[in-house]
Amino acid sequence: MPSSIFRRLAQLIAGLFLYGLGISMMVRASIGVAPWDVLSQGIAANSPLSFGMATNAIGALVLLLWWPLRQKPGIGTVLNVLLIGPSAQFGLWLLPAVDGLWLQVPLFAAGLLLVALATGLYIGARLGPGPRDGLMTGLHARTGWPIWQVRSLIEGGALLVGWLLGGDVGLGTLAFALLIGPLCGMTLGWFGIGKVPSGPLPAR
C-alpha cells in the first residue's frame, strides 16, 4: 500500500511538472493559448507578476472560492496550485521564442500533446482535483446547472478577462478547446489507476 501511494504521488508530481512545460511550449508558439493561460498572460502583462506567478495566484484565488462551495481539496489540489506555475516559468526560461508558422505550429502541437499526457498522469493519480475542477463541480452542485454550462461560463469568463488584459487569443486557443477533450480521454485511459475517472475532463 505505501508503495502504491508513493507511485501515485510520483505520477502526480511528474504530471504537474510536464503540464507546466506543455503550457510554456504553447506560450512560446505565440498562436494562442488555453483560456486560463490567456488570463495568466493578461495579469502578467498588467502587474509585476511573472507568467508563472500569475498562474499560481489564479490557482490560489480559485481555491479560496472552494470554501463557500464546501469543496474539500486533496494533496493533488495543493500541489497543482504550487507546481504548475513554477514549471511553466521554468519552461519559458528554457525555451526561446520562435518565429514563423513552420516552427510555431509544431511547437504548439507538441505542447498540446504534452498537456494531454500530463493531464492523464496527474488526474489518474487520484490525489485531488485541480482548483478549477473543484470550482466547476462545486458550482454545479450548488446551482444545479449542467456541468458543460458551468465549465463554459467559467472558462469563457477567464478567456474574456484575459483577452481584455492583453492575453494571447488565436487559432491555438480554438485548437486547444476542440482537441484537449479527446486527447485527455485517451491519456486518462493510459494512465488511470484502475478504472478511468468518471465525470468531465479537467479544466485544471
Asked if residue 102 is part of any domain, the answer here is: yes
pLDDT category at 203 given cuts 50, 70, 90 is: low
Out of 135-144, 162-171, 187-196, which region has the weakest mean confidence (pLDDT)?
187-196
DSSP string of 78-146? HHHHHHHHHHHHHHHHHSPP--SHHHHHHHHHHHHHHHHHHHHHHHHTTS---HHHHHHHHHHHHH---
Residue type, 35: P
Neighbours of 78 (CB within 10 A): 16
Q: What is the pLDDT of residue 4?
A: 87
Nearest residue to 93 (alpha-carbon basis) of 54, 59, 50? 50
Is the confidence at residue 196, as pLDDT, over 70?
Answer: no
Nearest residue to 188 (alpha-carbon basis) of 108, 121, 142, 95? 121
Q: What is the pLDDT of residue 3?
A: 66
Asked if residue 198 is part of any domain, the answer here is: no
Asked if residue 197 is part of any domain, the answer here is: no
Is the confidence at residue 198, as pLDDT, over 60?
Answer: no
Q: What is the pLDDT of residue 71?
A: 82
Number of H helices, E strands in the chain: 9, 0
Asked if residue 204 is part of any domain, the answer here is: no
Residue type, 162: G
- Distance from C-alpha of 140 to C-alpha of 36, rounded to nearest angstrom: 19
- Distance from C-alpha of 93 to C-alpha of 70, rounded to nearest angstrom: 38
Q: What is the pLDDT of residue 36?
A: 96
Burial 101-127 (b: 16+ CB within 10 A, else e): eeebbebbbebbebbbbbbbbbbbbbb
Is the confidence at residue 194, as pLDDT, over 60?
Answer: no
pLDDT category at 192 given cuts 50, 70, 90 is: low
| Higher-confidence position of 22 and 185 | 22
Q: What is the pLDDT of residue 199?
A: 44
Q: What is the pLDDT of residue 186?
A: 86
Residue type, 18: L
Q: What is the pLDDT of residue 200?
A: 45
Q: Show the cell assigned to 48.
A: 509585476
Cell 512545460 belongs to residue: 21
Q: What is the pLDDT of residue 187?
A: 86
**Which domain does 44 fall in, by range?**
2-191
Q: What's the pTM value of the predicted model, to 2 decimals?
A: 0.89
Asked if residue 72 is part of any domain, the answer here is: yes
| Higher-confidence position of 195 and 16 | 16
Asked if residue 200 is part of any domain, the answer here is: no
Asked if residue 13 is part of any domain, the answer here is: yes
Mean pLDDT of all residues belonging to the chain: 90
Asked if residue 142 is part of any domain, the answer here is: yes
How many domains, in total, are found in the chain?
1
pLDDT (average), residues 125-143: 87
